[in-house]
Amino acid sequence: MQNENQRAPAASRIPSAAYALCLCIGLVGANSLALGPMAPRLAESFARGVPAVMTASAAFGIGTAASALLLAGLIDRFGAARVLRHALLAFLAALAASGAAPVLPAFVAAQLLAGLAAGLALPSIYTLAALAAPPGRESDTLGVVLFGWTLSMVAGVSLSAVIADLLGWRMVYGLVVAAGLAAMAGTLRLSAGGGAAGRAAPSPLSALRVPGIAPLLVACAAFMAAFYGVYGYVGDHLHRGLGLPVSAGGLLALCYGLGFGATALLDRWIDRLGPARLLPAFFLAVGGVYLAMAAAAASYPALLAVVFCWGMANHAALNVLILRLAALDPGRRGAIMGLNSGVTYLALFIGTTGFGPLYAHAGFAALAGLAVALMLAAALAAALAPRAATASGQAAARSLTSG
């Protein structure tokens, strides 16, 4: 009995694999989030406007969505760890090509390739996080993995804006590639078995038949379109609208990252209160932050405070959204996470391209106003998602991880 009691606490600890996955999230996040603050420098380098540069972000989103929707079924067949390692290698090659791009079309093409790799990496990461989580600590474990977005903001995006000012934007990609090699080393000990050899990889689109998934994907689309639509142009708003240096976007990203990371301390309460009842409330909280952002658009100090809250609210909403999706059907978790990534990066494309004309004609505050409307739609969709499907999925997930 004593040995069993001694083993129980160890079994409930957050596994070391979560920290390796955190580094991988940071790598992908550094690329997908750094372009916004650096966009003015790239625009000057390529002699193009910021909306033209942001087509690279849209290309990254399209590549990620296409890969996640068409190829993420490979995760359930070959194993998430194996797919992740190959995807990271391709991702690093695309980043090197981005840093060496001589003209904007070449940069856009490199970001498209980076997106194709990220479309396999992200659902692999979320699948491994769900597999590694001890029963009852799903939110805590996922919170550690999602802390990679904080790393990308604090150590990646914040520094990239400063480095772009001092050493040029190409140096940023060189440093991200170097950091990516460290992330690759952290994946060597990860393991997760795939399906039987020769079994056809299920299409992520087949997971659309899983009960309860449709309204959650609608909520995901609205949530992510609002985020990327606002985030993609906040750097240019600071630089051109408020007359601040590009490095000011780095401090803003730092505030977002600190807020995103601070919420990780509250993740254990999510498991206790239940993700289903919390998700609509968290989406409404994000909408409230966008409302405050519209009011604070003309003041840099006020924006820093609002963006800190933005990071907190987004972390909570993203954590609960992924928990609900991952619990729907453990047997199709890779395909479901592929759908999640596909919808997320389709929303990136829609956000960056759709918000651009509004920003050009009406300014940054109008973007925040549109984001409020999208978050109301996300909250409504989350409220309509059946809780029974999620509850049964969570029970199955806990049975799988404890078995």
Q: Give the DSSP per-residue string, 200-264.
A: PPPPGGGGGGSTTHHHHHHHHHHHHHHHHHHHHHHHHIIIIIS---THHHHHHHHHHHHHHHHGG
**Phi and psi, residue 136, nearest 5°:** 85, -10
Mean predicted lDDT score pLDDT of the chain: 81
Residue 333 has a pLDDT of 74
pLDDT in tens, 308-327: 999 999 988 988 898 888 77
Q: What is the largest CA-CA distance in the chain?
A: 71
Closest CA to 182 of 158, 154, 151: 151
CA 221 to chain centre: 12
- Of residues 186 and 304, more confidence is placed in 304
pLDDT level of residue 8 (50, 70, 90 thresholds): very low
Instruction: Return the half-sphere exposure (C-beta side, CA atoms, 13 A cut-off) of residue 11.
Output: 11
pTM of the model: 0.72
pLDDT level of residue 270 (50, 70, 90 thresholds): low
Residues of the chain above pLDDT 90, percent: 28
| Whether residue 390 has pLDDT greater than 60 | no
| Whether residue 281 has pLDDT greater than 50 | yes
Please give the CATH number for the structural domain made up of 16-191+204-402: 1.20.1250.20
| Whether residue 18 has pLDDT greater than 60 | yes
Which residues lie below 8 Å from residue 186, measured CB to CB, with a gap of 6+? 19, 20, 23, 24
| Whether residue 216 has pLDDT greater than 50 | yes
- Of residues 234 and 147, more confidence is placed in 234
Mean pLDDT confidence for 375-396: 70
Residue 345 has a pLDDT of 78
Closest CA to 91 of 184, 224, 186: 184
Residue 190 has a pLDDT of 67
* Helix/strand/coil for 12: coil
Instruction: Return the half-sphere exposure (C-beta side, CA atoms, 13 A cut-off) of residue 194.
Output: 22
| Whether residue 288 has pLDDT greater than 90 | yes
Domain extents for the chain? Answer: 16-191+204-402
pLDDT in tens, 74-97: 887 788 888 898 999 999 999 999
pLDDT level of residue 365 (50, 70, 90 thresholds): very high
| Whether residue 382 has pLDDT greater than 90 | yes
pLDDT level of residue 396 (50, 70, 90 thresholds): very low
Q: Which two tokens stand for residue 42?
A: 């790239």
pLDDT level of residue 268 (50, 70, 90 thresholds): low
Query: Helices in 12-157 by DSSP H: which ranges?
Result: 17-46, 50-53, 55-71, 73-78, 80-100, 104-132, 138-151
pLDDT level of residue 366 (50, 70, 90 thresholds): very high
pLDDT in tens, 326-340: 778 877 777 787 788
